[in-house]
Amino acid sequence: MKEMNDIPNEVLTLLESKAFNELTKEEQSLVLSYVSEKDYKDYQSVIHDFKAIDSALEFDDSLPDLETTAAAKETRSKSNPIYRLAAGFVILILGGLTIWDLSNKPLDIDENVVEMQEKTQSIDPRLVEMRMEIVKQSIETEEIQIGTSLANEDFPEDIALEFDALMMGGGTTRDNF
Amino acid sequence: MQAKPKMISINGIKSTSDEELMRSFSQFKDETTFAEIYKRYFASLSKYIGWLSSNIEQGKDIAQNILLKVYQEPSAFDASRNFKVWLFSIAKNQWKNELRSDAIKEKYLQNLRVVPEEEEPKDEMENKVLLKKALAKLSENHREIFVLKYSNNLTIKEISKICACSEGTVKSRLFYAMKYLKDQLKTKEY
């Protein structure tokens, strides 16, 4: 087959306008010296499909108000730095207000924490002593080395309080603070 | 000797050449004359840039900017030249300038939006989508020539001037593009 860069314009015209079986014998002979019949049909299919997509694209080709469009573009390009400065200033103010607001706002305290505080303050000391005895006995059986003596007077009081809190289902006081 | 420009009547406007319209508009700044130029070229310029950029909305924006410049400076066109070639050459340069922007590069690979017809068979729609994708994957040199020929209906001679290459090169690139698209569609069918 001959080189495509030498292909006559006539072949390109035929490709767009005539199916292979519509070509005259002379036209077929010309076409076949450059492309096969199969390729001719395939190329036609590609061109046809592309034109279908291309022609489906929609445009409003009525003349817009070009004077207004030109003026709007010029205004935007001139005032752009001012708009940017203004936007930056607003962001700065809003950022400052947000930071000030956050620093002055009191921390929300979990209601459970308040409730737990109230409960621990109202525990009967005799009940605490009983709990301490139970906890001490359970730790002694496990022989855990905690660096703290298990003698009564050295036994950490808050563990008993934590045990009580666990029983009440509210987690440990240590967790809440 | 160049013909003296004359105001073109509304009746004769459709049969007047592009060059004559531009000559008249440059002299008389008649909106009706320019409206005809706009009507002739807005869609095809939009499609040219749209297919190059794979973004039809971008194509419309750039096309409008180009025509706005022509409206503002009609004397920039030398009426002894081919208006169509001049206009598309400007469009090509404008697109190259746009590509320098990183933001535009990001959008470069987006597909063209095609509104599917409700009754269209599913396999035809798939074929169109495949073709669009295959076209986007084609190199810009080949895609450009394919689009100028089958979307903008330019002659081989006109395309060779816009693309600054020989007519032989235009033809070989055109067939390369068709072969590539054909092969891409065949591959996806299986």
What is the complex's ipTM, to 2 decimals?
0.85
- CB contact under 8 Å between A7 and B127, yes or no, is no
Question: Which residues of A touch chain B, with CB atoms under 8 Å apart?
Answer: 3-7, 9, 12, 16, 35, 39, 42-43, 45-47, 49-54, 56-59, 61-64, 66, 69-70, 73
Range with lowest mean pLDDT among A45-54, A145-154, B119-128 = A145-154
Mean pLDDT of A12-17: 94
Residue B105: what pLDDT? 62
- CB contact under 8 Å between B172 and A3, yes or no, is yes
CA–CA dist B34, B5 (Å, integer) = 15
CA A27 to chain centre: 60
User: What SS3 class is residue A176?
Assistant: helix
**Percent residues over pLDDT 90 in chain A:** 28
Residues in chain B: 190
Range with lowest mean pLDDT among A26-35, B25-34, B93-102 = B93-102
In chain A, residues with a C-beta closer than 8 Å to the C-beta of B168 are: 5-6
- pLDDT of B127 strictly over 50: yes
Residue A5: what pLDDT? 84
CA–CA dist A30, A10 (Å, integer) = 9
- CB contact under 8 Å between B39 and A61, yes or no, is yes
- pLDDT of A172 strictly over 50: no
Q: How far is CA A137 from CA A141, A152, A159, in A?
A: 7, 11, 13
Cβ–Cβ < 8 Å for A165, A172? yes
Residue owning tokens 């036609």: A44
| DSSP tally for chain A: helices H, then strands E | 8, 0
CA–CA dist B169, B153 (Å, integer) = 17
Residue B124: what pLDDT? 62
Choose between A67 and B65: higher pLDDT: B65
**Percent residues over pLDDT 70 in chain A:** 45
- pLDDT of A162 strictly over 50: no
Secondary structure string (H, E, C) spanning B31-66: HHHHHHHHHHHHHHHHHHHHHHHCCHHHHHHHHHHH
> For residue B88, what pLDDT band results from cuts at 50, 70 and 90?
very high
Q: Which residue in B31, B47, B185 is closest to A54 by CB distance?
A: B47
Min distance B5 CA to chain A CA atoms (Å): 23
What is the average pLDDT score of chain A?
A: 69
Range with lowest mean pLDDT among A23-37, A69-83, B3-17, B121-135 = A69-83
> For residue B45, what pLDDT band results from cuts at 50, 70 and 90?
very high
- pLDDT of A155 strictly over 90: no
In chain A, residues with a C-beta closer than 8 Å to the C-beta of B123 are: none
Min distance A29 CA to chain B CA atoms (Å): 19
Min distance A165 CA to chain B CA atoms (Å): 60
CA–CA dist A77, B142 (Å, integer) = 36
Q: CB neighbours of B53 closer than 8 A, spacing ≥ 6?
A: B59, B62, B95, B98, B104, B107, B108
Cβ–Cβ < 8 Å for B151, B47? yes
Q: Which residue of B has its CA nearest to A13?
A: B155
Choose between A5 and A41: higher pLDDT: A41
CA–CA dist B101, B96 (Å, integer) = 10
Min distance A173 CA to chain B CA atoms (Å): 56
> For residue B100, what pLDDT band results from cuts at 50, 70 and 90?
confident
- CB contact under 8 Å between B150 and A63, yes or no, is no
pTM confidence score: 0.66
